Structure 1
Amino acid sequence: MRKLIPLVFALAPMLAAAQDLKVALIAGKTGILEPYARETETGFMMGLEYLTSGKMDINGRKLKVIVKDDQSKPDQGRTLLAEAYDDDKVDIAVGTSSSGSAIAMLPIAAEYKKILVVEPAVADAITGAKWNKYIFRTARNSMQDGLAAASTFKQGSVAFLAQDYAFGKDAVAAAREALRLTGSRANVVHEEYAPQNATDFTASAQRLFDKLKDAPQPRVLQIIWAGPNPMNKIADMKPERYGITLAPGGNILPVLKTWKSFAGTEGTIYYYYGFPKNKMNDWFVAEHMKRYKKPPDMFTAGGFTAASAVYTALAKTGGGNTQNMIAAMEGMEFDTPKGKMHFRKEDHQAMQPMYHFRIKKDQKDEWDLLELVREIPASELPVPIRNKR
């Protein structure tokens, strides 16, 4: 018996460590999408705090989050995800900020046969042509954005300004198709793509104005942009001279704050803190205000949503067995600050509502920016299934 005691003691730490549940959170914490990454991490940690009542455990097992910065670089994203699966032995991974990096990570999840929850990257290919069965997405996709916007364009002429990379091109393609799927009679007259870090929009705007100015009314210029938004610069060129109305996509609060002079302008958005009415969002808004002196933002809500999906999956399965987790997550319903979502079984896309907003004329404080025109339910967003199972 004495000879067995040292062995028992030697195994005890290993057994204890095996009980930990590990999650990797990969985000572009440096580079142009750093604000998105920072919000995602904040929301993710707040979500786990709420869901575990501050204990950071699931069914008595300690929950450990390993945060990694892929700098929004595809090569770095691939490397870090492989490291999370291979070296860190995570049960599940979440990421990332850039659609380009997220797409590069998808084959790594398949190679290691481990689940990747995509948040907040939106490119349709993630749950479409590039998808594999290990991929689940809590983020909305470009088509959901497009369908929401298309529901507000009933007729007239539309042109797009977007960034010249995966997100921008994917979003415009989705917007075009969304107009068809929603039965809109609006005609797309031009697509304009500018460099991701562009600061001068003079030439781009003039081309857009030239295409729109003689087109049937109403004339709408939709701006689809990640990072510092060019709407103010486009507005300075006075598109109203040509009867052109700007239609911004949703953006983070620091950007929305710069749009106060556009009272009455309408658009669609993934999340705005004042729109959802539920217990989880009430806690989220109040706690975020207490800690950070401002309300939660789009990507903070996305991080919380990803945390809820991860928590629900691990609570149901205990992690470990990937096939059991996939079976549990297909069709899985989970609570979020936007209300209940579920993963569509066919392509693992989270089905969710969107919001039609109007920029407020009378704003009571620096964050009182938008009023709700209408919540657009998931049932009105017929997202096509494009993956190959």
Structure 2
Amino acid sequence: MSTDDRISRRSVLSTLGAAGVTGFAGCAGGDNGGTDQTTTGTDGETMAGEGDATGTTTGSAGGASGTVKLGVIQPMSTDLKYYGMQALWGFFSGMAYKGDTDPVTGIESGEYTVSVGGVDYELYVRDTKFSADTAQTLATDLVQSEDVDMLVGCASSGAASRVITTVAKQANVPYMVGPAASADITGNSKTCGDMIFRAAENTAMDARSGGKYVAQETDVQQVYLFGADYSFGRAVVNNYESVLKANNVEIVGKKFVQQGYSEWKGLLDKASEAGAQGIVGGFTVSTLPALFTTYLNGDYNYRVFGGFATEITTSVVGQTLQKVFGKPLTEQKLQGKQFGPFTTRYHWNQYDNDINSAFVDMYSKAYGRVPDLFTSGMFTAASAIVQAVEESGSTEGADIASSLRGMTVAETPKGTDGYAFQKYNNQARSAMTVADPVPITDEWKDQWGAAIMPSDPVARIDASETTIPSDAEEMGCSL
């Protein structure tokens, strides 16, 4: 980064001041208190362990030399910290894979250095506490005070959008978003941009893969859509509606409710009366247990679709299933209620290739659990950054961004060349899978704290079909 660039960024962000928080407060909405998939506390959320906040690891590879400073912002405290921790674990695993070393453990707020060939990647890790205000403040400080070459992170779509509009775009600093999943981030002209990238999968990819499977591989022709009344829930419902209609499935109703809504009998009865053969719920762990309990205890003839969530959300769903069906859960019990199948962005057992095998091995040894929903996208984010440095031969943020545009990422958990950044919006496309919920097997029960897990894939949706096309009505980004 040149001296002129640093001075320019400082001056721009200094003049922005507190007005940036006020001016964009409405865009954070419910995401300050919610998330793309909300969670409650769990043992797994503390698996990062204790440890010094400064560490150095080295490896071998490369095609450039020097230092790249990455400002990495994720929630690492509060009840939502598991989202941030699994994102960090995935990112550090990607860096370790590229450097042929072990992942950093004991991660907390602080500075870490991972060396890949002749390049030192200095990672300035900061805790957003799942707050858009905090994320903006931290991002501003990382750009102004630490002179980072690139920003990485945010599990909340509201926080990511805030950082994009008030920091990344204002200071013209590259930003690799993830795992924040709202499709709008890379689909809306206000938040997409030449310097805004996302390797992680998004809600449109959930819907385009899950919706197509419902339309083409099941006998469901009428669907009722439910969603939480904030950005994540609306994104799920809107994307499913678009995809299902395009595949000649009738939407017989849709309803948005507040997070934590629990009076589900009336709404599920309404879906039944409307002739629904399937329902989709765009909800988090604050709402799903009540919905599933009512559905599973009721006499409903329609199927439930959606997406496999993270371990902690899946754990709550598993507990609900055990209360209804008793222990032990069996495949027969689960199949009897038309529960699923569900789309998954990534889980450890969905991809059979050497890179994923190495990833599962290194991640589980370092962090005591198997890679989860957000980890492949964040591994790929790290892999892509290193690849961009090596291909460009430069450690400058602008050169890294230039190399990322249109890049096919060579080394990913979804296989060789498993992700590719689209030139029209800098969103990476990748394959998605569909799987049934099955009881946890003995092989994985010590590293996956839920009573159910994804089965082997029942379908795979090619990367060419998973993302919003450049000419689609809902694609508002054209770079």
TM-score with structure 1 length normalisation?
0.86
Other-structure match for 1:345: 423
Q: 1:45 aligns with which of 92, 111, 121?
A: 92
Unaligned runs of 5+ in 1: 1-17
State whether residues 59 and 315 of structure 1, in contact with CA within 8 Å, keep that contact through their aligned partners in structure 2.
no
Unaligned runs of 5+ in 2: 1-64, 103-113, 322-332
- Deviations along 1:335-360, one digit per CA (max 9) or x if unpaired, are 21122111001110101111101012
Identity %: 24
1:207 & 1:317 partners in 2: Cα distance? Answer: 58
1:35 & 1:112 partners in 2: Cα distance? Answer: 30
Q: 1:254-273 alignment to 2 at 5 Å? A: 254-260=312-318, 261=321, 263-264=334-335, 265=339, 266-273=341-348
Q: 2:162 aligns with which of 78, 94, 104?
A: 104
1:84 & 1:51 partners in 2: Cα distance? Answer: 24
Other-structure match for 1:185: 249
Q: Secondary structure at the match of 1:242?
A: coil
Q: 2:212 aligns with which of 144, 151, 156?
A: 151
State whether residues 229 and 255 of structure 1, in contact with CA within 8 Å, keep that contact through their aligned partners in structure 2.
no
State whether residues 92 and 116 of structure 1, in contact with CA within 8 Å, keep that contact through their aligned partners in structure 2.
yes
Q: 1:321-360 alignment to 2 at 5 Å? A: 321-334=396-409, 335-339=411-415, 340-360=418-438
Q: 1:188-267 alignment to 2 at 5 Å? A: 188-195=252-259, 198=260, 200-202=261-263, 205-218=264-277, 220-226=278-284, 228=285, 230-238=287-295, 240-260=298-318, 261=321, 263-264=334-335, 265=339, 266-267=341-342
Other-structure match for 1:286: 361
State whether residues 356 and 373 of structure 1, in contact with CA within 8 Å, keep that contact through their aligned partners in structure 2.
yes
Go from structure 1 to structure 2 and tell me whether the alpha carbon gap of 1:263 and 1:109 turns closer, same or farther (over 3 Å shift): same
Q: Secondary structure at the match of 2:464?
A: helix
Other-structure match for 1:19: 66
Q: Secondary structure at the match of 1:190?
A: strand
Other-structure match for 2:110: none
How far does residue 44 in structure 1 lie from its aligned partner after superposition? Answer: 1.0
Go from structure 1 to structure 2 and tell me whether the alpha carbon gap of 1:22 and 1:382 turns closer, same or farther (over 3 Å shift): closer
Q: Secondary structure at the match of 1:84?
A: helix
How far does residue 188 in structure 1 lie from its aligned partner after superposition? Answer: 4.2
Other-structure match for 1:141: 202
State whether residues 227 and 256 of structure 2, in contact with CA within 8 Å, keep that contact through their aligned partners in structure 1.
yes
Query: Which aligned runs of 4 or more in structure 1 are off by greater than 6 angstroms?
Result: none
Other-structure match for 1:118: 177
- Deviations along 1:149-205, one digit per CA (max 9) or x if unpaired, are 201222333223332222221221112112133x1423241222222xx2x511xx2
1:322 & 1:363 partners in 2: Cα distance? Answer: 45
Q: Secondary structure at the match of 2:436?
A: strand
State whether residues 157 and 212 of structure 1, in contact with CA within 8 Å, keep that contact through their aligned partners in structure 2.
no
Please tell me the residue identity of whatever aligns with 2:149.
D
1:92 & 1:27 partners in 2: Cα distance? Answer: 14
How far does residue 319 in structure 1 lie from its aligned partner after superposition? Answer: 4.5
Other-structure match for 2:238: 173
1:273 & 1:137 partners in 2: Cα distance? Answer: 20
Other-structure match for 1:381: 466
State whether residues 148 and 381 of structure 1, in contact with CA within 8 Å, keep that contact through their aligned partners in structure 2.
yes
Other-structure match for 1:310: 385
Q: Between 138-147 and 183-192, report the one with greater CA deviation.
A: 183-192
1:87 & 1:317 partners in 2: Cα distance? Answer: 26
- Deviations along 1:287-320, one digit per CA (max 9) or x if unpaired, are 2232333211112323212211221122223554
1:135 & 1:362 partners in 2: Cα distance? Answer: 38
Go from structure 1 to structure 2 and tell me whether the alpha carbon gap of 1:381 and 1:263 turns closer, same or farther (over 3 Å shift): same
1:249 & 1:360 partners in 2: Cα distance? Answer: 14
Please tell me the residue identity of whatever aligns with 1:191.
K
Alpha carbon RMSD of aligned pairs, Å? 2.3
State whether residues 58 and 314 of structure 1, in contact with CA within 8 Å, keep that contact through their aligned partners in structure 2.
no
2:398 & 2:93 partners in 1: Cα distance? Answer: 28
State whether residues 91 and 319 of structure 1, in contact with CA within 8 Å, keep that contact through their aligned partners in structure 2.
no
